[in-house]
Amino acid sequence: MSGRRTLLAPRLFDGERLHEGPVAVAIDGGKIAALRAPAAAPEAEPLPEGSLLAPGFVDVQVNGGGGVLFNDEITPAALAAIARAHRGLGTTALLPTLMSAGTEAIAAAMAAVRAAMASGVEGIVGLHVEGPFFNPARKGIHPPAALRPITEADLAVLTAPFPAPLMLTLAPERVPLAAIARLTAAGVLVFAGHTEASAETIAQAREAGLAGFTHLFNAMPPFASRAPGPVGAAFAGGGYAGLIADGFHVHPAALTAVAAALGPGRVMLVSDAMPTAGSAITQFAIGGRCIRLTEGRLIDEAGTLAGAHLDLAGAVRRMAELPGVGRAAALRMATRTPAACLGLAGTIGCIAPGARADLVVLDGGGAVLRSLVGGNG
């Protein structure tokens, strides 16, 4: 646990607003104690000239990092390696993401997260189970053989007591509304993804508790005037929307449109990161298919995108450059908004008294200079 220290930030983003003048941030016991004027903190440690202090990034979709794919190593040690790699990239809180797998693997992933959190692994704040209850027509890189209907055994595992946020991505047209309602009643954050659901089906799922959309635009049909589908439902209704801003998954014009339509309070930047993040490796396997890093994108032999070679600092930089978005809104999409989605507002994703001192120092161009967890780093 961190002791007392004070950082003098030339500029600060508190989770909602940019402060262009210097701010002293007092840390005590791993938490933010106070924000002060520089004159009131002569002992403060100055951060690099021109840098920006922001909350550590919060990423709700991380398949891997540091050379590790969670599906291949469902252990607390693997989670520690993934979190360590992403901490170096500015992400201080993440949901390790299990791609489509069997009931036993889901239970193992939940057990691994429980154990990791109980042992104090820094950065792990919950779990994202992505699939396997998908529409095969929108499988993406998920192995077709892994996709299946939801079972009573799945529901029993997923609705069991869990000490942290649990997100589940499913195709609403493939899962009974009663099951969605049961999941949400148990506290599961149910998101729509890998789906061909109509806007009407999405509306029914929303009434059952659907909370948002996983990697909006990707693995779902495009918006059309008479068939708005999931994208139109997201634009027209409530809920959160994950967004992969890597320059490959979503066109800049679409990124701009969703930012304008939903606003920074609903858009969550996600990395959808694979083992290449924070690693020198350039290839790995998913379901026996070789995935290669080629000109910045991860693809299989058929050219299908397979997650992303992305970190949230890069996503923030790309979003900040878009017309009408700007740096404050882009930063909020990677900090306060995902924290609020997870029910962790005021704990992470902000710089305010009582919040955890999970912080990232960015240079003038938005590159990560250092990360702190609990005030250490």
Distance separating alpha carbons of residues 27 and 353, to the nearest angstrom:
9
At 127 the three-state DSSP class reads strand
- In-domain check, residue 132: yes
The contacts of residue 377 (CB under 8 Å, 6+ apart) are: 359, 370, 371
Using the predicted structure, report yes or no on whether residue 298 has a pLDDT greater than 60.
yes
Domain annotation covers residue 306: yes
Regarding whether 78 and 16 lie in a shared domain, the answer is: no
The answer to the question of residue 351 being in a domain is: no
**pLDDT reading at 126 higher than 70:** yes
Task: Specify if 29 maps to a domain.
Answer: yes
Pair 367, 283 in one domain: no
| 136 in the same domain as 38 | no
Q: Are 64 and 343 in contact (CB under 8 A)?
A: no
Whether 92 and 26 map to the same domain: the answer is no
Reported confidence tier of residue 238, pLDDT bands at 50, 70, 90: confident
Over residues 52-56, the mean pLDDT reads: 98
Catalytic positions are 272
Indicate whether 221 and 94 sit together in one domain: yes
How much is the pLDDT for 2? Answer: 53
For residue 153, pLDDT beyond 50: yes
Instruction: Give the pLDDT mean for 134-163.
Output: 97
pLDDT per residue over 185-228, tens digit each?
999 999 999 999 999 999 999 999 999 999 999 999 999 999 99
352 within a domain of the structure (yes/no): no
Within this chain, do residues 167 and 19 fall inside the same structural domain, yes or no?
no
Domain assignment present for residue 266? The answer is yes
Is residue 377 domain-resident?
A: no
Strands (E) located in 152-221: 166-170, 189-192, 212-213
Residue 1, pLDDT > 60, answer no
* Same-domain status, 197 and 284: yes
* 189 and 78 both lie in a single domain: yes
Find out whether 6 and 25 touch, Cβ atoms under 8 Å.
yes
- CA of 354: how far to CAs of 7, 154, 198, 351, in Å? 16, 37, 43, 9
Peptide bond into 264 cis (omega under 30): no
Q: Which domain holds residue 20?
A: 5-53+357-372
Instruction: Please check whether residues 99 and 224 belong to one and the same domain.
Output: yes
Tell me, yes or no, whether 281 lies in a domain: yes
Question: How confident is the model over 67-109, as pLDDT tens digits?
Answer: 999 999 999 999 999 999 999 999 999 999 999 999 999 999 9
The whole-model pTM stands at 0.97
Total structural domains within the chain = 2
Paired with 59 in beta bridges are 94
Residues 48 and 66 in one domain: no
Residue 185: which CATH number? 3.20.20.140
What is the rounded average pLDDT of the residues 170-176? 98
pLDDT of residue 237: 85
Q: Are residues 237 and 187 in the same domain?
A: yes
Residues 255 and 160 in one domain: yes
DSSP codes joined into one string, 216-258: TTTTSPPP-SS--HHHHHHHHS-SEEEE--SSSSS-HHHHHHH
Average pLDDT over residues 125-149: 97
